[in-house]
């Protein structure tokens, strides 16, 4: 009757230890999520020169200074060595993209068609331009539209910040910010429907393929992570302290949620 008792004791002790290990692995994986590679490795064992991938540029409209007239904000991505518009990526692996972004000292900024409105320099400098840009409407009741943007950082982490900017006293300031996962945002097209000017005699027309058109459509219908919830209050979808996605209502005067 008791012949199998030692075996049962060992078996009972085995299952709790397995469950405990799986929980630790899950938490570790959640806390260290990394960005997927954006491009495929070039053929020929690195012998073929990587093809230039232009990358998407955001353009939004709104009344940002509160004067009752519409302005346009346009994203730009420059080669720091030539100070000219350049491609964001290459048809190589992600490590190569990071290497080239730093090698070219690339930088990005958002410029307004109203020259009286200062440009926004996208930070941190080690980036691939913008991951997201949106006109959020008038969130604080000052008569001007606020914007939100997320930097496409040149790193392997999925941790990022969603910044809400307002134009006040002739300069852009951070009205509110909150932490996010990058996977909360839609994937960007590689080019979009654009015509790119690379100098007085160089103009490149970029036509979207089927995948780009699908991603562009998804981007246009995406509502963002912010919604107005009352006077100086917004609803945000953010990365909470327990490393999950959560939705809460916050006051703009707090500047950021508990982090």
Q: How far is CA 62 from the centre of its chain?
A: 21
* Averages of pLDDT over each 10 residues, the chain, 259 residues: 43 41 38 50 55 92 97 96 93 90 94 96 94 98 97 95 96 97 94 67 68 92 97 96 90 89
Q: Has residue 94 been placed in a domain?
A: yes
DSSP 208: -
Q: Has residue 34 been placed in a domain?
A: no
Counted domains in the chain: 1
Output the six-digit token pair for 92.
């190589």
Its pTM stands at: 0.80
Q: Has residue 253 been placed in a domain?
A: no
Q: Has residue 143 been placed in a domain?
A: yes
Q: Has residue 23 been placed in a domain?
A: no
| The predicted structure's pLDDT at residue 25 | 35
Q: Rounded to whole angstroms, how far apart are CA atoms 196 and 186?
A: 23
| The predicted structure's pLDDT at residue 37 | 47
Q: Has residue 20 been placed in a domain?
A: no
Q: What is the span of the domain harbouring residue 213?
A: 52-221
Q: Has residue 251 been placed in a domain?
A: no
Whole-angstrom distance between the N-terminal and C-terminal Cα of the chain?
58
| The predicted structure's pLDDT at residue 218 | 95
Q: Has residue 30 been placed in a domain?
A: no
| The predicted structure's pLDDT at residue 29 | 42
**DSSP three-state, residue 163:** strand
Question: Pick from 120, 51, 107: which is nearest to 81 by CA?
Answer: 107
**DSSP three-state, residue 59:** strand
* SS3 readout for 229-251: EECCEEEEEEECCCCCEEEEEEE
Place of tokens 């006040």: 168
């Amino acid at each position: 009757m008791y012949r199998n008792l030692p075996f049962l004791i060992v078996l009972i002790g085995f299952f709790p230890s397995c469950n405990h290990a799986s929980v630790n692995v899950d938490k570790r994986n959640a806390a260290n999520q990394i960005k997927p590679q954006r491009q495929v490795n070039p053929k020929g064992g690195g012998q073929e020169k990587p093809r230039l991938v232009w990358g998407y540029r955001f353009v939004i409209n709104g009344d940002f200074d509160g004067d009752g007239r519409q302005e346009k904000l346009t994203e730009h991505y420059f080669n720091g060595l030539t100070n000219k518009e350049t491609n964001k990526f290459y048809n190589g692996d992600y490590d190569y993209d990071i290497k080239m972004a730093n090698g070219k000292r690339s930088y990005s900024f958002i410029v307004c068609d109203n020259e009286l409105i200062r440009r926004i320099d996208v930070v941190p400098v080690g980036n691939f331009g913008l991951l997201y840009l949106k006109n959020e409407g008038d969130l604080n009741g000052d008569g001007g539209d606020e914007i939100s943007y997320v930097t496409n950082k040149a790193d392997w982490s999925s941790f990022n910040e969603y910044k809400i900017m307002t134009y006040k006293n002739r300069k852009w300031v951070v009205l509110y910010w909150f932490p996010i996962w990058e996977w909360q945002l839609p994937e960007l097209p590689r080019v979009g429907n654009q015509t790119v000017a690379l100098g007085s005699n160089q103009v490149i027309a970029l036509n979207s393929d089927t995948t780009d058109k699908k991603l562009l459509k998804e981007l246009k219908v995406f509502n963002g992570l912010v919604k107005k919830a009352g006077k100086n209050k917004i609803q945000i979808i953010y990365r909470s302290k327990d490393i999950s996605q959560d939705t809460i209502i916050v006051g703009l005067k707090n500047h950021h949620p508990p982090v």
